[in-house]
Homo-oligomer: A and B are copies of this chain.
Amino acid sequence: MIRRDGALLTDLYQLTMLQAYHDRGMNGEAVFEFFVRALPAGRNFLLAAGLEQVVEYLEALAFTPEELEWLAGCGRFGRGFVEAAAGLRFTGEVDAMPEGTVFFADEPILRVRAPLMEAQLAETRIINLLQYQSLIASKAARCVLAAPGRLLVDFGLRRAHGAEAGLLAARASYLAGFGGTSAVAAGALWGIPLYGTMAHSFVQAHETETAAFEDFARSQPRNCVLLIDTYDTEAAAARVVALARRLREDGIAVAAVRIDSGDLAAHARKVRAILDAGGFPGIRVFASGNLDEYRLRELVAAGAPIEGFGVGTRMNTSADHPYLDCAYKLQEYRGQPRRKRSEGKATWPGAKQVYRAVEGAGFAGDVLACAGEVREGEPLLAPVMRAGRRISPLPMLEQARERAADQLARLPEALRLLDPALPYPVRVSEGLHALAAHVDERIARTRD
């Protein structure tokens, strides 16, 4: 079987480079690191996510018989290489920041130390997994910070970029502090709390709005959220009051109403007043429709009486910045530090560690240092895999979510706001500066 998330989910050049390494017998120990070159404009921090999926990928890394057959038949690879590919597994080491860790530009969040061919083949999928979940966790964290105390639910599956994006966004946003998701498979796979209401089609399929509301309430008596904007929001709110009185006699409570269009704050106030006047202060107001952290901040600042928000497309496509300027770069080969010097894309050489200083409970600055340097502060990269296997169970998603909450609470206050702040201080150690100069000299001497 040619899998859509297997060993062939890679760029062609990984395989042609592997063929060249195979031909030359080049398979020494390599160190690659994944990092973000620069934060998206206006963002003050990023949140690490996706490690669990990377570990699952590396532990399962192998070509299936059909994938090997494809390699052999595509006309690009020699028989000896295909035979070597059949035995390829990931046997290396991974050190990483735990999911839910706040990080900044140039800081590696994952380091792979492995035979060159293994570390190279895995590049594409490692980036693919880490960049997307970190991107979405970071965006979702901004939503959480913008709407403290409100329930946020991921509603974005339908406009996510494919199935995997929808599910991983549910995971990443929950990790970042969302209360749950509408994506059923994400609930079934990872135990993420599920939320749902009803669609406009449900109202439209009934002859009257009241009939639609009543059918839904009697079918979902413990989960009755009614969508009230299909025709006229306030008229529907009045219908909800009338219906809720009848349902109360049968012991059924309407939990909430949802508004999905128009001026959400204005509608929410009118609807709140209608529900309160009707004797239902306990029916909550839930809102959705084109929300992101900026709209959430506005609605909260306006004092809109909305208890929960469905946040979809703009969160799970990270619509204002739909990608991170990230890379997975060779930093060391056969014990020798390496460095790319391309214009605007130069990298810090060698295996690295990030040390974070803490003052009181808060974060006070990071130092990017060589992996061997001993520095003050908490080292953020910790051992995850050795000899191709995880050395202990990864934290559960709930633990990663707790870590994210703790990390966000410890960020300097200005960085927790949506507006651009002075960058968090990240210093490059003297040892790393010296190493970079040393590598530059060697490149100048030998690159011919």
Chain A residues with a Cβ under 8 A of chain B: 2-6, 8-17, 19-21, 23-24, 26, 30, 32, 67, 70, 74, 76, 116, 120, 123-125, 127-129, 131-132, 155, 157-169, 182-185, 187-189, 194-202, 204-205, 207-210, 215-216, 218-220, 223, 229-232, 235, 239, 260-262, 313-314, 317-319, 322-324, 326, 329-330, 333, 338-345, 443, 446-448
* 17 residue pairs A–B, Cβ–Cβ below 8 Å: A3-B185, A4-B164, A9-B163, A12-B182, A17-B199, A19-B220, A24-B215, A26-B215, A30-B205, A32-B201, A124-B157, A127-B158, A128-B157, A128-B163, A162-B163, A204-B333, A205-B338
Contact, CB under 8 Å: B319 / A189: no
- A165 in complex: contacting residue of B124, B165, B204, B207, CB < 8 Å: B165
Contact, CB under 8 Å: A239 / B448: yes
A185 to B: closest C-beta gap in Å: 4
- A8 in complex: contacting residue of B185, B229, B443, CB < 8 Å: B185
| Contact (A11, B189) CB under 8 Å given A162-B161, A204-B338 | no
Set of chain B residues within 8 Å of A326, measured between Cβ atoms: 159
Chain B residue nearest to A11 in the complex (CB): B182
A146 to B: closest C-beta gap in Å: 20
Q: How far is the CA of A163 from the CA of B10 in the complex (A)?
A: 10
Contact, CB under 8 Å: A167 / B205: no
A339 to B: closest C-beta gap in Å: 7
A321 to B: closest C-beta gap in Å: 8
Contact, CB under 8 Å: B157 / A9: yes
Q: How far is the CA of A64 from the CA of B17 in the complex (A)?
A: 41
A264 to B: closest C-beta gap in Å: 11
Contact, CB under 8 Å: A183 / B13: no
Most B CB contacts (10 A, CB to CB) among A24, A70, A322 go to A322
Q: How far is the CA of A330 from the CA of B204 in the complex (A)?
A: 7
Set of chain B residues within 8 Å of A168, measured between Cβ atoms: 161-162
Q: How far is the CA of A406 from the CA of B129 in the complex (A)?
A: 37
A138 to B: closest C-beta gap in Å: 14
A316 to B: closest C-beta gap in Å: 8
- A128 in complex: contacting residue of B160, B189, B198, B235, CB < 8 Å: B160
Chain B residue nearest to A204 in the complex (CB): B338
Contact, CB under 8 Å: B128 / A158: yes
Contact, CB under 8 Å: B230 / A184: no
Q: How far is the CA of A74 from the CA of B184 in the complex (A)?
A: 11
Set of chain B residues within 8 Å of A189, measured between Cβ atoms: 2, 4
Set of chain B residues within 8 Å of A235, measured between Cβ atoms: 447
- A12 in complex: contacting residue of B184, B202, B215, B342, CB < 8 Å: B184
A162 to B: closest C-beta gap in Å: 3
Q: How far is the CA of A157 from the CA of B162 in the complex (A)?
A: 13
Contact, CB under 8 Å: A231 / B131: no
Most B CB contacts (10 A, CB to CB) among A11, A187, A202 go to A11
| Contact (A218, B23) CB under 8 Å given A8-B184, A17-B202, A185-B3 | yes
Q: How far is the CA of A341 from the CA of B209 in the complex (A)?
A: 13
Contact, CB under 8 Å: B338 / A20: no
| Contact (A230, B16) CB under 8 Å given A11-B158, A161-B162 | no
Contact, CB under 8 Å: B161 / A16: no
Contact, CB under 8 Å: A261 / B345: yes
A130 to B: closest C-beta gap in Å: 10
A340 to B: closest C-beta gap in Å: 5
Set of chain B residues within 8 Å of A11, measured between Cβ atoms: 155, 157-158, 182-184, 196
A136 to B: closest C-beta gap in Å: 8
Chain B residue nearest to A349 in the complex (CB): B204
A103 to B: closest C-beta gap in Å: 18
